[in-house]
Structures are given as C-alpha cells and as structure tokens.
C-alpha cells in the first residue's frame, strides 16, 4: 500500500502570506477514490502557521476516516440483523 499526498498552494495575498491550501491523498489500494481536503484561507508565514495547516488537514482526514468507519459499522450491523431476520424465516 502506497499513500501519496499532493499539496497545492493557491496564493490569496502574497504580502500577507495568505493562501488557499489543498491536499489530495491517494491510496494505491483505492486509487480511483482520492480524497481532497481544503483550508480555504490560511496564513503561512511562520513555521507554526505552516504546521497548523498540516494539523488542520490531518484533522479533516481523521474526521473523514471516523465518519467512514461509523457508516460501515452502521450498515454492517443493519445488514447482519436483516440477514438473521430473513434467514430465521426459512
């Protein structure tokens, strides 16, 4: 499994170090389903500000993973219950 991140910086105000930052994550095991995360306006002058953008994007990614996990658990639980219900009728 190879994961790549492709960041893109779109300047908004160069003199104020403001930009829109996007990062697209591609997993080789699901290459047709890349995920893109966007910080619409970020200040990126200092090391701390640059790190904060990375932290924000990572938090978006983690929230996305949590949502996908919860959805899968919800669906799996319902499918299992329905299968048991229907099979009990056989």
The pair of structure tokens assigned to 87 is 């099979």
Residue 1 has pLDDT above 80, yes or no: no
pLDDT tens digits, 37-63: 999 999 999 999 999 999 999 999 999
Task: Give the tens place of pLDDT for each residue, 11-39.
Answer: 999 999 999 999 999 999 889 999 999 99
- E runs forming strands in the chain: 3-13, 18-27, 35-43
Is-contact 17 9, C-beta < 8 A? no
What pLDDT, on the 0 to 100 scale, is given for residue 7?
Answer: 98
> Integer distance in angstroms from the first to the last C-alpha of the chain?
42
As beta bridge partners, residue 26 has 4
Question: Each residue of 54-90: pLDDT tens digit?
Answer: 999 999 999 999 999 999 999 988 998 999 999 999 9
Q: Report the pLDDT value the prediction gives residue 77, as an integer from 0 to 100.
A: 86
What is the rounded (10 degree) CA torsion for 31, 4, 61, 50?
-150
- Predicted model pTM: 0.81
Give the separation between CA 87 and CA 90, rounded to whole angstroms.
Answer: 5
């Amino acid at each position: 499994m190879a994961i790549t991140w492709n960041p893109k910086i779109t300047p908004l105000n160069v003199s104020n170090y403001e930009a829109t930052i996007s990062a697209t994550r591609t997993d080789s095991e699901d290459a047709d389903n890349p995920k893109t995360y966007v910080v619409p306006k970020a200040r990126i002058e200092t090391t701390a500000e640059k790190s904060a953008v990375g932290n924000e994007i990572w938090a978006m990614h983690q929230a996305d993973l949590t949502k996908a996990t919860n959805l899968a658990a919800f669906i799996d639980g319902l499918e299992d219950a329905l299968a048991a219900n229907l099979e009990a009728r056989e």
